[in-house]
Structure 1
């Protein structure tokens, strides 16, 4: 009797599509390789997906040596996965670019061979380099920038420390963009906005008596529902936004890449701002917390001192490098100072002026 059992192919496909080589062949500068007819060359086909899935058979949660089902209390999510040899497909597998994996029932050796093949694939350097540039510097890097970082990847055998050094020290990252450049730069995703706010105002937090760190903002701890993003809680393997997401141009044409803007719509624009104000401005204090708080407490004492002294220009200048990345134009600075002057004329307190300034910065 033939048992029709085949390994699940989802992870094998995702490993290639999302985390290493992508869907089509790329040049070092991330441009697409095409065939004689001008069509993109695929990086893999269904046969490769099936072979990759076979390479990954046998791996399971540590502590589970009987089957692939989750066992409450028996498994440890914090430890590396383990392989059960009898559940590993020990036949030869031919994956992309003709690489043959034939390590028998040694699943660790098979996995190492597969990872080596992925890391040295010509696509991996530009595929990963471009996304790292998008996260750290700009959503629309030039092909030359991607090419230089890809070269650093290849030269260092994928050493991430050297790759990041190449990203951050590249001339395209270090040269300030011109005032007319509307393409350079990137949007801060909501979680980064929140942590930037906490870092800017020396946020402090005391855990509960049982030592657990538990945030509760207006009765909610689920940032996915309010901030449209939460730490390590993406709704799918595609994460919260795609690297190729674009902002449409005014004339309907395809616009520039703006991955983080995929999070925003009519509803989330309001909920994200409200959550940032609640988690940030709603926890302003002039002193450090003495007991457990539902959220980190932000220290506004220096900013409050400037407000009480009526130094509105100093207030704006103090938050410019913290929340604007020193990218505050002369006109915007003047508008913020004017707003603070008018609030003071209305007898608004220093704390109210601090809150209003930070809310506008967000």
Structure 2
């Protein structure tokens, strides 16, 4: 007699179960294994009805993909790369980016994709990472943020044949599809509100003069300042540094023709400047012309303050800060869905403008903190 193999129970006392494979699903349905493979991988060649039956049967039988084998057979890694060019410290203070990443993960994970997160300290480092990923076939696609003037990334990714989508934009060369937010319309909402509360001397604190969305916001601010004939308008650049914004804000308040409203590109700059203004108000007399908007609504007769980004920071301060509200998590989901379409071979091009933001009016511009513009 030949040797016999004895199958022993596992540590839990149960007999090990056989892993369900594609052949088992094919045998169950009486179709070919190739058809089952096409169905579970959403490839053309089988009908939608067959795909539905295969997926339902596979789920019922307990089938799950083996990603190592899947990667070998399809040349896919089931990984999407995300390489924001900024320090980790800055990312930790940017609640918009953190929620955006959560949205990316939510949509990508539903399709079996993971995120390879690799922050870079410079644009050149980011470009090097893409070259390395291409050489090692490390990712299936890439999500881009922070489009710059004459940005080399879309061209490089196109040459490396790495699918990519852009959050922002649009890409002037149309090499990568994009989803953008209507910043021009948002800036007009802010200025209309400030004019309604009789603020006509306004300074806008921008982040980085090289970033595409920062440039569009500045252009909109300058154009609208002329359109609405502001008494005074200025733009100041901070490189997103909260201390720089606070110092420049206080310096402007020392002038004889001080602004009576400030707009900040993010909430950390707005909150830091608010605190600095309160300290300044305690230490000296605030220049004339900064009367309260509504009796004692404003502490210390502060100038009006608006943030272009909203987060818990804006409601945790006193006074609470009027801010532009958008849903970064939803934005991340839609960007991820656009990339999934690209990875599935669907024709995708051009720019789509989504997520019309709303302005939440709070105490820093004389509101109750409960008001919001139409559409919220």
Q: Which has the larger radius of gyration?
A: 2
TM-score after normalising by structure 1? 0.26
Write 1 or 2 for the structure with the bigger share of strand.
Answer: 2
TM-score after normalising by structure 2? 0.25
